[in-house]
Amino acid sequence: MIEILTPAEVSQARHTGALVAHILHTLKSRSAVGTNLLDIDQWAKEMILEAGAESCYVDYAPSFGRGPFGHYICTAVNDAVLHGMPHDYQLADGDLLTLDLAVSLGGVAADAAISFIIGESQPPESVALIDATRRALDAGIAAAQPGARIGDISHAIGSVLSAAGYQINTEFGGHGIGSTMHQDPHISNTGRPGRGYKLRPGLLLALEPWVMQDTATLVTDEDGWTLRSATGCRTAHTEHTIAITPEGPEILTLPKQS
């Protein structure tokens, strides 16, 4: 299903996106050497419930997972890149952590992810991974103009990731979003321009470039959810929810400037 939101629903999406951004960046500020992933999950739960929002993850049970996810946020560390299930792990200096969060507020969902490094260490390969996903996301957003096509977004994202030297996995990518978290159209992180669904005002998209340092192959963790690089290399993932408007793409999950 491809859902086109009304102006009122897009307005509500701005509130949902602002909440997602606030929670993610609050969690980033609290995450330090020694922080337990289960504490991050608990903090996310508290903030979601305090806002009167609903988690898109707790009861989520798609075909690629093992039963309901059962947690409020995805926490992926180092070689984990997608669907990272929170578990009893204390963050160490230099860990590359990705937080991926989707919530629904007022009947409209928003989804975003951030990758960052814990502590004082700044491993160059980790910095490069994160930077590539951020630049690819910027390129994908710039391509998301009304009248453009999904392939234009995919091509823009893939061009940046390929130029940075990374292989691209096409099993998982961006997606439509609206009254539910995952909708059509699928947005691959590489593709051919001029192909696919034509972008219209009212369409909400979650764009999410992600890469692994030296492979495009994923393996599933024993928890049935967490996806890791097949070689054990590090990974990064950056995501925003955007709205297609007559004036161009609007990022809904940017944190408010203080």
> Known binding site for a divalent metal cation: residues?
100, 111, 175, 208, 239
Which position has the token pair 């321009």?
Answer: 193
Give the distance between the most distant pair of CA atoms in the chain: 48
Q: Which residues are annotated as a binding site?
A: 83, 100, 111, 175, 182, 208, 239
* DSSP conformation class of 255: P
Tokens of 36: 């337990």
Closest CA to 236 of 215, 205, 213: 213
Q: Which residues are annotated as a binding site for substrate?
A: 83, 182
Contact 246, 146 (CB under 8 A): yes
- Determine the Cα–Cα distance for residues 25 and 77; give it in Å rounded to an integer: 17
Tokens of 34: 């020694």
Neighbours of 34 (CB within 10 A): 12
Contact 209, 136 (CB under 8 A): yes
